[in-house]
Amino acid sequence: SDCVFCRIVAGEIPATAVLSTDCAFAFLDINPLADGHTLLIPTNHAATLDDMTPEEVAAVVSQLPPLARALMAATGADGYNILQNNGSVAGQVVTHVHFHIIPRVADDGLGFRWNAGLYPEGRAAEIQAGIKAELAG
Ligand code: 5GP
Ligand code: ZN
């Protein structure tokens, strides 16, 4: 495989593993944003979350609560961000689904960019109709 995360799961590339099940694997990010920055991934390759079945996603995501508790206890963090990028436009660099778990402490300087906007009249309802039609479709 030419996928770096598949190679990590296969043991062909070393990684600092912290969790391993049939469906999920977690290891420390090689370039951490904070101590304990961890990546949780499905063991089977999928490029983006929408390529996975709900069951496959559930088997991975169900590891988040124990993993988050363990990271906080082990690093002394008081909170954490979950970040999951899909597509290069969204900042995804490694095209194997991964959840970033980023431990946070007060004044860690990591910051948080959230450039919120405002819907013009009618636009939210338009988008709602589009999404609901797709889901029903
Ligand atoms: P993305 O931008 O795709 O959401 O994030 C990819 C993440 O994978 C980055 O934070 C990067 O540091 C991490 N990463 C890339 N290659 C490796 C690797 O070979 N080993 C580990 N442990 N992390 C990696
Ligand atoms: Zn892969």
Question: What digits encode the pLDDT tens for the residues 23-51?
Answer: 999 999 999 999 999 999 999 999 999 99
Ligand in nearest proximity to the CA of 96: 2
* H/E segment holding residue 25: strand 24-28
Instruction: Report the alpha-carbon angle 95-99-20, nearest 5.
Output: 95
Measured in Å, residue 68 CA sits from the centre of ligand 2 at 23
Write out residues with Cβ below 6 Å of ligand 1.
4, 13, 15, 27-31, 39, 85, 91-94
* Confidence check: pLDDT of 113 > 90: no
| Res 112: pLDDT | 84
Quickly list H helices, the chain.
4-9, 54-61, 64-75, 123-136
Per residue in 41-85, pLDDT (tens digit) is 999 999 999 999 999 999 999 999 999 999 999 999 999 999 999
| Res 30: pLDDT | 98
How confident is the model over 8-23, as a mean pLDDT?
98
* pTM for the predicted model, two decimal places: 0.97
Measured in Å, residue 94 CA sits from the centre of ligand 1 at 6
Measured in Å, residue 5 CA sits from the centre of ligand 2 at 5
Instruction: Report the alpha-carbon angle 65-66-70, nearest 5.
Output: 120
User: Which residue lies with its CA nearest to atom 20 of ligand 1?
Assistant: 30
Which ligand 1 atom is at minimum distance from the Cα of 27? 22
37 part of the active site: no
Which ligand 1 atom is at minimum distance from the Cα of 15? 22
Instruction: Report the alpha-carbon angle 9-12-16, nearest 5.
Output: 60
